[in-house]
Amino acid sequence: MEVRVAKSAGFCFGVQRAVDSVYHEIEVNDGKIYTFGPIIHNEQVVNDLQSKGVQVIESEEELEQITDGTVIIRSHGVSRAVYEKILSRGVKIVDATCPFVKKIHNIVDEESLKDREIIIIGNDKHPEVEGIRGWVNGTSFVINDEKQINEKCIPKENKYSLVSQTTFNHNKFKYLVEIMRKKGYDINVVNTICNATNVRQVEAKEIASDVDAMIVIGGKNSSNTQKLVEICSEQCENTFFVQTAADLNAYDLKAFQSIGITAGASTPKNIIEEVHTECQKK
Ligand code: F3S
């Protein structure tokens, strides 16, 4: 049986880097280690880190109680205020903000000093967007859909620089920018969407169209995993969703000549490898 694993399966570069930096600290650091928020939305990884002594700081109030150790900032990044609060605790900071997100912080910081207000296309409840907003000097607006362009009453007489949450849908971004332009807004657009999600989806589609069965690994509540299942199902009628290698027992894979494997953004490498090994045994 031929088994093909997608190169882009699992963690993107920024998440891998952040998770690696926590494991690195565990190796080299004798003191307390904290992450500001869970490093990734994957229970297994967070539990494993917890068992190795890493604690998750859930709020700024909790942060204020910390007096020593190391605080790791996850790939989403944090606002300037939170960054300064961590600094003020006198702890060591490991900043694992994804460089693509850090670039957005720098853009909004510089642009907002140049007489421009900032528009962020994204979800205002998402920690990445909260972090980006926190680097703006002055006013910022967050827009998630067409309705919000009208609701937010963004003054037409001002000048704006516009950026995007890294995981925003590319077509929706283009559409919203077009609407703002048609409405006559003076906007300097910087497309800051990261390609990782798109690359993962395109590769999954390509592999699924070429194999007899496709396995998608991920958390059951992960929306990007569900999207992968949807994309693969359109190409391959034998698309199976699993959370771990143990779930493969529910399927008779012997019947297939070729199998493809992909995984959602929060699936660790070891789970992908276990599923790969299990498939080869079938
Ligand atoms: Fe991942 Fe960084 Fe892109 S965290 S999705 S590589 S912006």
Q: Does the pLDDT value for residue 219 go beyond 90?
A: no
Q: How far apart are CA 20 and CA 108, in angstroms?
A: 28
* Cα-based torsion angle of the residue sequence 148, 153, 156, 162 in order, rounded to the nearest 10 degrees: -40
User: Ligand 1 centre and the CA of 155: distance in Å?
Assistant: 32
The atom of ligand 1 lying closest to the CA of 195 is 3
Calpha distance 109→48 (Å, rounded):
36
Active-site residue among 25, 111, 117, 128?
A: 128
Q: What is the mean pLDDT of residues 206-235?
A: 93
Whether the CB of 15 sits within 6 Å of ligand 1: yes
Residue 180: phi and psi, rounded to 5, are -65, -40
The predicted pLDDT at position 258 comes to 97
13, 39, 95, 267, best to mutate for ligand 1 pocket (most atoms within 8 Å of CB): 13
Instruction: Quote the ligand 1 centre to 182 CA distance (angstroms).
Output: 30
Going by alpha carbons, the residue nearest to atom 6 of ligand 1 is 14
Q: How far apart are CA 180 and CA 187, in angstroms?
A: 8
Which ligand 1 atom minimizes the distance to the CA of 76?
4
Q: Is 62 a catalytic residue?
A: no
pLDDT tens, residue by residue, 8-24: 999 999 999 999 999 99
Over residues 148-168, the pLDDT tens digits come to 999 998 999 999 999 999 988
| Angle between helix 13-28 and helix 43-51 axes, rounded to 10 deg | 10
Phi, psi dihedrals of residue 73, rounded to the nearest 5°:
-90, 130
Q: Which of 256, 179, 222 is nearest to 242 (CA)?
A: 222
Q: What is the mean pLDDT of residues 124-139?
A: 96
Residue 56: both structure tokens together: 């998750």
Query: In angstroms, rounded to a whole number, what is the distance separating the alpha carbons of residues 7 and 119?
Result: 34
> Cα(256)–Cα(71) distance, rounded to whole angstroms?
48
pLDDT > 90 in the chain, percent: 89
